[in-house]
C-alpha cells in the first residue's frame, strides 16, 4: 500500500492484513479514483467520511493532499490499531477522528454536521451492500453539494439509481458516484 500523491507521496505501509476481513483498494483503482476526484474536489476544504475504513488507505491520500477533517469508521480492532499507528507515524493525529464502530450503528446516530465527501468500501461478501446508498442518504450525512462514492465488485449494479451520476470501472473494482438529485426549478 502506497500513498499516491501529496506531501506523503511514495510512502509505503504494510498492514498485517492477511487474515483481516478487509480488502484494501488496489493502488491502480485508488489512483484512478483520485485522478477523478482531483478534478472535482478542493481537498483542503473537504469534510471526509470513510466508512468501512479498513487500512485507512483513502484517509492517508486525503490527508496527504491537504485535507485535515477526516472521520474513519471501522469495527475491526486490528485495522483500527493499524490506522492509529500509521497516523502517529505520519504525525497527522489532529486531522483524523478514528472511530471503532459498526458502520450501520454509526449511520443510525451520525454527527450533526454533514460531510462533503463520503467513501464506502465494504467487504465484498457483505450481504446488504445494495442498501448502503439508501442508508447514507437517509442518515442525512451527505452535504447538499456532496459526493458519495461506493466501491463494489461487478456483482452490484446501481446504474438505475437516480442518485448515481457516474460509474468508473477498474477491472474488478467499480466505483459508483452518488449525489443528491438535482432539485427541479419551480
Q: Tens of pLDDT along 25-53? A: 677 888 899 999 999 999 999 999 999 99
Domains recognised in the chain with CATH numbers: 50-178 (3.40.50.150)
pTM: 0.92
- Give the three cell numbers for residue 76: 475491526
Is 105 within 8 Å of 76 (Cβ atoms)?
A: no
Element (H, E) at 178: strand 173-178
Element (H, E) at 144: strand 142-152
Amino acid at each position: 500500500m502506497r500513498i499516491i500523491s501529496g506531501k506523503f507521496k511514495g510512502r509505503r505501509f504494510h498492514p498485517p492484513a492477511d487474515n483481516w476481513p478487509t480488502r484494501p483498494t488496489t493502488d491502480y483503482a485508488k489512483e484512478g479514483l483520485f485522478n477523478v476526484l482531483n478534478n472535482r474536489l478542493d481537498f483542503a476544504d473537504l469534510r471526509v467520511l470513510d466508512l468501512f475504513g479498513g487500512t485507512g488507505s483513502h484517509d492517508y491520500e486525503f490527508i496527504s493532499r491537504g485535507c485535515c477533517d477526516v472521520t474513519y469508521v471501522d469495527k475491526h480492532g486490528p485495522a483500527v490499531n493499524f490506522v492509529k499507528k500509521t497516523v502517529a507515524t505520519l504525525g497527522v493525529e489532529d486531522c483524523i477522528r478514528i472511530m471503532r464502530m459498526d458502520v450501520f450503528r454509526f449511520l443510525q446516530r451520525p454527527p450533526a454536521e454533514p460531510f462533503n465527501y463520503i467513501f464506502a468500501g465494504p467487504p465484498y461478501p457483505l450481504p446488504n451492500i445494495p442498501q448502503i446508498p439508501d442508508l447514507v442518504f437517509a442518515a442525512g450525512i451527505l452535504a447538499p453539494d456532496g459526493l458519495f462514492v461506493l466501491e463494489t465488485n461487478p456483482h452490484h449494479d446501481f446504474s438505475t439509481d437516480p442518485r448515481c451520476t457516474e460509474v468508473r470501472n477498474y477491472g474488478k473494482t467499480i466505483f459508483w458516484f452518488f449525489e443528491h438529485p438535482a432539485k427541479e426549478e419551480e
